[in-house]
Amino acid sequence: MADDRTTFLLTADDIPTHWVNIAADLPGDPPPPPLSPRTGQPAGPEDLAAIFPMALIEQEVSAEASIAIPDAVRDAYQLWRPTPMRRARRLEQALNTPARIYYKYEGGSPAGSHKPNSAVPQAYANKEAGITRLATETGAGQWGSSLAFACSLFGLECEVWMVGSSYDQKPYRRSMIQTWGGTVHRSPSDRTEAGRANASHPTGSLGIAISEAVEVAAQREDTNYALGSVLNHVLLHQTVIGIEAIAQMEMAGDRPDVVIGCVGGGSNFGGIAFPFLREKLRGDRDVRFVAAEPAACPTLTRGVYRYDFGDTAGLTPLMPMYTLGHDFVPAPVHAGGLRYHGDSPLVSALVRAGLVEARAYRQNETFEAAVRFARTEGVIPAPEPAHAIRAAIEEAEAAREAGEKRVILFNLCGHGHFDLAAYDAYLAGTLEDPEFSDADMQDALTRLPEAPLLA
Ligand SMILES: *Cc1c(COP(=O)(O)O)cnc(C)c1O
């Protein structure tokens, strides 16, 4: 086996047949259940059935360790999967580190990120359930464009509420949604109660946009809602990333000591981490996990572990998670996909249990890492995975200090071709470096919903 390979490729036959459901392997008590926003009691399938198809609700609550991927979904996955894993030899050399750095690259999908891994099975499940329209929100535009793409594959209509600041900054993400046949509204919009109630926040937020899409889905029989992150079934779909990476690390003859992903709602992180975590929990592997988030929206490192709404208006079930308060509006950093007040209940529980370490980075230091990566490895990363790159560089530098051949694997979950205005600002030295407003969070925390405290 040549020792100088940089790329590890699988074939169509290697597309995973099953997703990894980490819920089945979690140690200790099962994670606390979501609560109905109406009754405050554990949310049953009926609380979700107004906006989700039963197949996805079953995945959401499943206790099975593996869940079969429908043939139609595996077939569509072939449009961009399996994705490559590469060894970042040039970055290693530039860092003068004995560490070996690998990255899984999800930027080659039609939408340019990991999001289609879940958009496709969600569109498929809705189509099978007889739904004709999906409503959703999008931050930076990654999820909205991915869902529009997936809807085009299965003949569904797609209606997207896009966070106002991104709508203005990323016109080409709108073009993609429209090219795939979707419709885009700037959020807050005047088409929903939630939008009209938030007209005083013209830059919008993910929480507000979710409220608008959920409101529309709840009102119309033919329309369901699709969420691009946070929920168990979304993280489940993303585990194709880590399943492939396990096979590719075997091809490379290496085992990661640390697996890293950026975290907005937790889906790309869970996607790469959970298959490795399952092996660790079963005693077959020794590996650490690092979740990287923006210092301007430090949910895992500064938030509280409490029940909170997933959206601003309080329409979604209450979820047990780290939160900055559902009406906290983070500074408009360019990593729009990481500007979310909450986090996946699964990832939150793992951070709580000490199985995942969370770290927060400032905007300028992440762009410094992104530019370093682009100048050594070529790919211009999206601002979100730049946080994972920053953490990977930190690990490689620590390995150099310790004289350790540490093996690092991170998820490069998207390219930055629609984020070049942010790169322009960084290169011109005018990129803002917003701080987190502790006062705003403390204020938002006074409006947490009434719910039992979590242990
Ligand atoms: C949506 C998105 C994220 C954040 O979402 P997660 O669910 O935490 O993965 C990060 N990176 C990119 C490129 C995204 O599109």
* pLDDT tens track for 408-452: 999 999 999 999 999 999 999 999 999 999 999 999 999 999 998
Residue in the block written with tokens 């895992």: 300
Ligand 1 centroid to Cα of residue 262, in Å, is 7
| CA atoms of 45 and 107, how far apart (whole Å) | 34
Angle made by CA atoms 267, 346, 227, in degrees to the nearest 5: 45
Contacts of 430 (CB under 8 A, 6+ apart): none
Mean pLDDT value of segment 276-293: 97
Indicate the top mutation candidate among 104, 113, 173 to test ligand 1's pocket, ranked by most ligand atoms within 8 A of CB: 113
Query: Could you identify the atom of ligand 1 that is nearest to the CA of residue 266?
Result: 8
Distance CA 127, CA 150 (A): 11
Q: 338 C-alpha to center of ligand 1: Å? A: 7
One DSSP character per residue, 61-129 reads H---SEEEPPHHHHHHHTTTPSPPEEE-HHHHHHHT-S-EEEEEE-TTSTTSBSTHHHHHHHHHHHHHT
Q: Is the pLDDT reported for residue 2 higher than 70?
A: no
Per-residue pLDDT, 283: 97
The ligand 1 atom at the shortest distance from the C-alpha of residue 338 is 4
Can you say how many angstroms the Cα of residue 92 is from the centroid of all Cα atoms in its chain?
26
What residue owns the CA closest to ligand 1's atom 14? 337
Tens-place pLDDT, residues 195-220? 999 999 998 888 899 999 999 999 99
**Residue 183 phi, psi dihedral angles, 5° rounding:** -115, 140
Token reading at 99? 């560490």
In the reported structure, the alpha carbon of residue 155 is separated from the centroid of ligand 1 by a whole-number distance in angstroms of 25
The domain over range 7-14+71-112+233-446 is classified in CATH as 3.90.550.10: no
Q: Is the pLDDT of residue 158 over 50?
A: yes
**Residue ranges lining ligand 1, Cβ < 6 Å:** 113, 115, 142-143, 229, 262-269, 337-338, 382, 384-385, 413-414
In this structure, what is the dihedral angle of CA atoms 244, 247, 248, 251, given to the nearest 10 degrees? Answer: -160
Among 19-23, 66-70, 321-325, 450-454, the least confident range: 450-454
Ligand 1 atom 15, closest CA: 142
pLDDT attached to residue 141: 93
Cross-strand partners of 323? 304
pLDDT at residue number 38: 86
pLDDT at 1: 46
The mean per-residue pLDDT over the stretch 330-334 comes to: 88
What is d(CA 211, CA 92) in angstroms, rounded to the nearest whole number?
44
* 337 Cα: distance to centroid of ligand 1 (angstroms): 5
- Continuous H helices in 264-333: 267-281, 299-302
Q: For residue 112, report the distance from its CA to the centre of ligand 1, in Å.
A: 11
Question: The pTM is what?
Answer: 0.97
Please report, for residues 39, 271, 294, 297, 368, the alpha-carbon distance to residue 265 in angstroms, rounded to integers and kept in the order given. Answer: 25, 12, 12, 11, 24
**Shortest-distance atom of ligand 1 to CA 113:** 13
Among 119-133, 290-304, 309-323, 392-406, whose mean pLDDT is lowest?
309-323
The pick from 106, 206, 229 for probing ligand 1's pocket by mutation, whose C-beta has the most ligand atoms within 8 angstroms, reads 229
Ligand 1 atom with the shortest distance to the CA of 235? 7
Selection from 308, 373, 325 nearest residue 101 by Cα: 373
Residue owning the nearest CA to atom 3 of ligand 1: 337
Omega within 30 of 0 (cis) for the link into 188: yes
The sign of the torsion formed by the CA atoms of 69, 106, 113, 343 equals positive
Q: State the pLDDT at residue 339.
A: 86
Ligand 1 atom closest to 146 (CA): 15
Q: What is the pLDDT of residue 47?
A: 83
Give the distance (Å) from ligand 1 centre to CA of residue 264: 6
Nearest ligand 1 atom, CA 264:
8
Give the Å distance between the CA of 34 and the centre of ligand 1. Answer: 22
* Whether pLDDT at 304 is above 80: yes
Q: Is it true that the peptide bond before 121 is cis, omega within 30 degrees of 0? A: no
CA of 404 to the centre of ligand 1 (A): 31
What would the two tokens of residue 163 be? Answer: 């966070």
- The b/e string for 349-384 (b: 16+ C-beta within 10 A; e otherwise) is bbbbeebbbbbbbbbebbbbbbbbbbebbebbbbbb
* C-beta atoms surrounding 33 within 10 Å: 16
Q: How confident is the model at residue 128 (pLDDT cuts 50, 70, 90)?
A: very high
Starting at the edge strand found earlier in the chain, the sheet holding 100-105 runs 7-8, 85-87, 100-105, 407-412, 258-262, 288-294, 357-361
Average pLDDT over residues 31-41: 90
Q: What does the alpha-carbon distance between residue 342 and residue 352 come to, in Å, rounded to a whole number?
A: 14
The pLDDT tens digits for 219-273 are 999 999 999 999 999 999 999 999 999 999 999 999 999 999 999 999 999 999 9
Helix ranges restricted to H, 227-306: 232-238, 240-252, 267-281, 299-302
| Residue partners of 263: CB distance under 8 A and separation at least 6 | 269, 291, 292, 293, 299, 300, 338, 343, 344, 347, 358
